[in-house]
Chains A and B, each alone.
Chain A
Amino acid sequence: MDDTMSNEQRSVGPDRTATPGGTRLGWLFDRNLVSLAVLSTLLVVVSGIVQVSHGPFRMSYAEVGRSLTDQRVLFDVEVWKAFLLGHELPEMSNSNLVVWYMRLPRVLVGVFVGANLAVSGAIFQAVTRNELASPFILGVSSGAGAAILLTFVFLGGLVLYLPLIAAAGGALAFLVVYTIAWKNGTSPVRLVLAGVIVGTIFTSLQQGMFFFLQDISVAKSARAWTVGSLIGTDWEQIRMVLPWSVLAVVLALAGARQLNVLLLGKNTAKSLGMNVERVRFGLSSVGVLAAAATIAVAGIVSFVGLIVPHMVRNIVGSDYKKLVVGCLFAGPALVVSADVGARLFFQMLGSRGQIPVGIVTGLVGGPYFLYLMRKQEALGNI
Chain B
Amino acid sequence: MKRNTGTDDETVRADGATATDWTDEARAPDTSELAGEGLVLGYPATDEPVLDGETVTATPGAVTALVGPNGSGKSTLLKGLANQLEPTDGSVLLDGQDIRSFGTKEMAKKLGLLSQESTSPGSISVEDLVFHGRYPHRGFFETVTAEDERAVDRAIELAGVDHLREREVASLSGGQKQLVWIAMVLAQETDVLLLDEPTTFLDLHHQLEVMEIIETLRDESDITVVVVLHDIEQAARLADRMVALKDGEIHARGTPEEVVTEGLLAEVFEIDAAVERTERGPRIEPIRARHDDDEPDAVHERPPRMEADE
Interface residues of A in 265-302 (CB under 8 A from B): 265, 267-268, 270-275
Shortest beta-carbon distance from A371 to chain B in Å: 20
A157 within 8 A of B: no
Type the 1/0 row for B50-75, where 1 means its CB is closer than 8 Å to any CB of A.
Answer: 00000000000000000000000000
* B119 near A264: Cβ-Cβ < 8 Å: yes
Distance between Cα atoms of A20 and B163 in the complex (Å)? 15
Q: Please state if B163 and A272 are interface contacts (CB–CB under 8 Å).
A: no
Residue of B with least CB distance to A270: B84
> Across the interface, which residues of A come within 8 angstroms of B189, CB to CB?
none
Against A, the Cβ 8 Å flags (1 = close, 0 = not) of B118-154 are 1111111001100111011010110110000100110
Chain A residues whose C-beta falls within 8 Å of the C-beta of B213 in the assembled complex: 1
Contacting pair B104 A273 (CB below 8 A): yes
As a 0/1 sequence over residues 200 to 238 of chain B, the CB contacts with chain A under 8 angstroms (1 = contact) are 000000000100110110000000000000000000000
Which listed segment binds B: A3-11, A96-104, A170-178? A3-11
Most chain B beta-carbon contacts within 10 A, residue among A10, A23, A184 = A23
* Candidates A14, A254, A261, A271; contact of B165 at CB < 8 Å: A14
Interface size class of A (residues with CB under 8 A): 35 or more
Contact in complex: A265, B118 (CB < 8 Å): yes
Report which residue of B84, B106, B120 has the largest number of chain A beta carbons within 10 angstroms of its beta carbon.
B120
CB distance from A130 to the nearest CB of B (A): 12
B124 to A271, Cβ gap below 8 A?
A: no
Report chain A residues within 8 Å CB of B153.
20
Count, A-B residue pairs, CB within 8 A: 102
Q: Which of B133, B162, B185 contacts A13 (CB 8 A)?
A: B162
Question: Which residue of A is nearest B167, CB measured?
Answer: A14
A12 CA / B164 CA spacing, docked (Å): 10
Chain A hits for B165, CB < 8 A: 13-14, 16, 19
- How far apart sit A5 and B185, CA to CA, in the bound complex (Å)? 22
B291 an interface residue at 8 Å Cβ cutoff? no
Contacts of B164 in A (CB 8 A): 13
Is B82 interfacial (CB 8 A cutoff)? yes
A-B contact pairs, 8 of them (CB 8 A): A12-B163, A20-B149, A23-B144, A257-B138, A267-B84, A272-B135, A272-B188, A318-B124
Q: A16-B162, A272-B133, A273-B106 are in contact. List 19 more A-B contacts (CB 8 A).
A: A1-B212, A2-B209, A2-B212, A10-B162, A13-B164, A16-B127, A257-B135, A260-B128, A263-B120, A265-B120, A267-B84, A268-B118, A271-B113, A272-B188, A273-B104, A273-B105, A273-B136, A274-B105, A318-B124
